[in-house]
Amino acid sequence: MNLKGKKILVGVTGSIAAYKSALLVRLLIKVQAVVKVVMTDSAKEFITPLTLSVLSQNPVLSSFTDKDSETWNNHVDLGLWADAIVIAPATARTLSKCATGNCDDLLTAVYLSARCPVFFAPAMDVDMFHHPSTTRNISALAAFGNHFIAPEFGELASGLVGDGRLAEPETIVSELSAYFSQKSVAQYKRVLITAGPTLEPIDPVRFISNRSSGKMGYAIAEAFAAAGASVTLVTGPTHLKTTNRNITRLNVESAHEMFEVTKEHFQQHDLVIFAAAVADYRPAHVATQKIKKQGDELLLELTKTEDIAGTLAGKKRADQLTIGFALETEKEVEHAIGKLRRKNLDFIVLNSLNDPGAGFAHDTNKITVIDRDEKIHEFDLKPKEEVAQDILNIVLAKWSEA
């Protein structure tokens, strides 16, 4: 375990699963973490503050003021104190409040004040968990950079069977430990990521581009930055913004600009991920004035753009990792392996446009990762933030081997 001395704030909300928070706190103390507990008022209906106070060896807080001592429980100080916050159980109501910034109690105010990683462990009935509003709130919180510890499948308090059981306390502690292990591996690494589309001008008002939103590349950047890596993001035109201070963003437009900027920074990074959807061709001649409509046809002469991944990965150091992306519509694995070999990549991430919910513009993705030994790792359709975590975990495992 990597939790010795880590300051963990446990948030407990009003779910029947709140009884498990006692064991969670006990396990955290057992691995020598420092624990403070913040409860919502509704959580007190399921477990007493006294129980959690004895187990955590700290007073349990639930309001902004302590009426007996007339002291102020400063939510900002609590948010800055913690190395990690884990809200377990996290009810549908709490997820909604955190997703929308509705901080009407101490716990949600601490969440909004936190600068540390926050882990949500949902617990609710199966239909509540799968309701579109809950799914939307989870997606929003994941997009903010929060982490989720998935509920388990089983019999629920309602008598129904399905997803919604709070993850076992041992699982939650293991997830926290894994996070801090990842951070120790990644925190000294430098990661270069390309993302988004490129824009190839035809004239001052028209251009050639593609449907890439940049969401996948940005999610990967956020995942590596949250794990402690120093990230340089070379991005084509997109409306997306970065949130982590470990990310340095470099804006470009054309494939040529992306090539030049990526080439400039390539050698200084331990890992390079080519996630951008770079245009394969650009107009051979760019008109200096707007092209007027004349006749029934307009013929454009196109010329190839630079092969950014192929050119740079061919010059990589022995200790440098490179990851490419392949978006295919037929013979997906065959074509992806060909690209992996041809461009001298260590991994290739395959997307298929034949998979519903994958590819451009979606908030979800379904990937297959293939390594140099042609070992295939297949993943289910999931939010792009979770896909980014899968890619992060593969790289962390590779770094750990080294």
Q: In the chain, what are the domain boundaries?
A: 7-183, 187-401
Backbone angles phi, psi at 74, to 5 degrees: -80, 110
Lowest mean pLDDT among 141-145, 220-224, 260-264: 141-145
Beta strand 247-251 pairing with 230-235: parallel
Binding-site members for CTP are 280, 290, 325, 339, 343
Class of residue 54 by CB neighbours under 10 A (exposed 0-12, middle 13-18, buried 19+): middle
Q: 10 pLDDT exceeds 70?
A: yes
Q: Cα–Cα–Cα angle for 141, 107, 75, nearest 5°? A: 110
Q: Are 48 and 123 in contact (CB under 8 A)?
A: no
Two structure tokens written together for 136: 């939307």
Active site residue 210: yes
Lowest mean pLDDT among 25-39, 57-71, 109-123, 386-400: 57-71
Q: How confident is the model at residue 358 (pLDDT cuts 50, 70, 90)?
A: low
Lowest mean pLDDT among 54-68, 86-100, 130-144, 266-280: 54-68
Q: 346 pLDDT exceeds 60?
A: yes
Q: Are 94 and 112 in contact (CB under 8 A)?
A: no
Q: What is the radius of gyration, based on Cα positions, of the chain?
A: 24
Can you tell me the distance from the alpha carbon of 78 to that of 61, in angstroms, rounded to the nearest whole number? 10
Q: Where do runs of H (alpha helix) occur along 13-151? A: 20-30, 49-56, 75-81, 92-100, 106-113, 126-130, 132-143
Determine the distance from the C-alpha atom of residue 96 to the mean position of all C-alpha atoms in its chain, rounded to a whole number: 19
Can you tell me the distance from the alpha carbon of 242 to that of 249, in angstroms, rounded to the nearest whole number? 8
pLDDT for residue 330: 87
Can you tell me the distance from the alpha carbon of 402 to that of 398, in angstroms, rounded to the nearest whole number? 7
Q: Give the length of the chain.
A: 402
pLDDT for residue 85: 97
Q: Are 286 and 297 in contact (CB under 8 A)?
A: no
DSSP category for residue 373: T
pLDDT for residue 167: 93
Percent of residues in the chain assigned helix, strand, coil, to nearest 5 = 35, 25, 40
Centre a 10 Å sphere on the Cβ of residue 284 and count the other Cβ atoms it contains. 10
Can you tell me the distance from the alpha carbon of 367 to that of 370, in angstroms, rounded to the nearest whole number? 10
Q: Are 7-183 and 187-401 in the same CATH fold? A: yes
pLDDT for residue 76: 87
Q: 185 pLDDT exceeds 60?
A: yes
What is the CATH superfamily name and number for domain 187-401?
CoaB-like (3.40.50.10300)
Two structure tokens written together for 45: 């209906």
Q: 337 pLDDT exceeds 70?
A: yes
Peptide bond into 204 cis (omega under 30): no
Q: Are 326 and 348 in contact (CB under 8 A)?
A: yes
The widest CA-to-CA distance across the chain, in whole angstroms, is: 85
**263 versus 360: which is more confidently predicted?**
263
Query: How much of the chain exceeds pLDDT 90, in percent?
Result: 72
Q: How confident is the model at residue 123 (pLDDT cuts 50, 70, 90)?
A: very high
Q: Are 151 and 120 in contact (CB under 8 A)?
A: no
CA nearest to 115, candidates 145, 135, 138: 145
pLDDT for residue 1: 55
Q: Indicate the fold that domain 7-183 takes in CATH.
A: Rossmann fold (3.40.50)
SS3 88: strand
Read off the pLDDT of residues 226-280 as tens digits, 9 standing for 90 and up.
Answer: 888 999 999 999 999 987 888 999 999 999 999 999 999 999 999 999 999 999 9
Given the residues 58, 210, 244, 393, the one annotated as active site: 210
Backbone angles phi, psi at 391, to 5 degrees: -65, -40
Query: How much of the chain exceeds pLDDT 70, in percent?
Result: 97
Read off the pLDDT of residues 36-78 as tens digits, 9 standing for 90 and up.
Answer: 999 999 999 999 999 999 999 999 998 887 766 667 778 888 9
pLDDT for residue 341: 96
Handedness of CA 27, 28, 29, 30 (dihedral sign): positive
Buried b (16+ CB within 10 A) or exposed e, 318-327: eebbbbbbbb
Q: What is the mean predicted confidence (pLDDT) over 291-316?
A: 92
Q: 353 pLDDT exceeds 90?
A: no
Q: Are 3 and 119 in contact (CB under 8 A)?
A: no
pLDDT for residue 355: 74
CA nearest to 24, candidates 177, 182, 160, 227: 177
Can you tell me the distance from the alpha carbon of 141 to that of 100, in angstroms, rounded to the nearest whole number? 9
Can you tell me the distance from the alpha carbon of 245 to that of 231, in angstroms, rounded to the nearest whole number? 9
pLDDT for residue 70: 67
Q: Cα–Cα–Cα angle for 99, 102, 103, nearest 5°? A: 115
Read off the pLDDT of residues 288-301 as tens digits, 9 standing for 90 and up.
Answer: 999 998 888 889 99
Q: Cα–Cα–Cα angle for 350, 390, 344, nearest 5°? A: 45
pLDDT for residue 160: 85
Q: 142 pLDDT exceeds 70?
A: yes
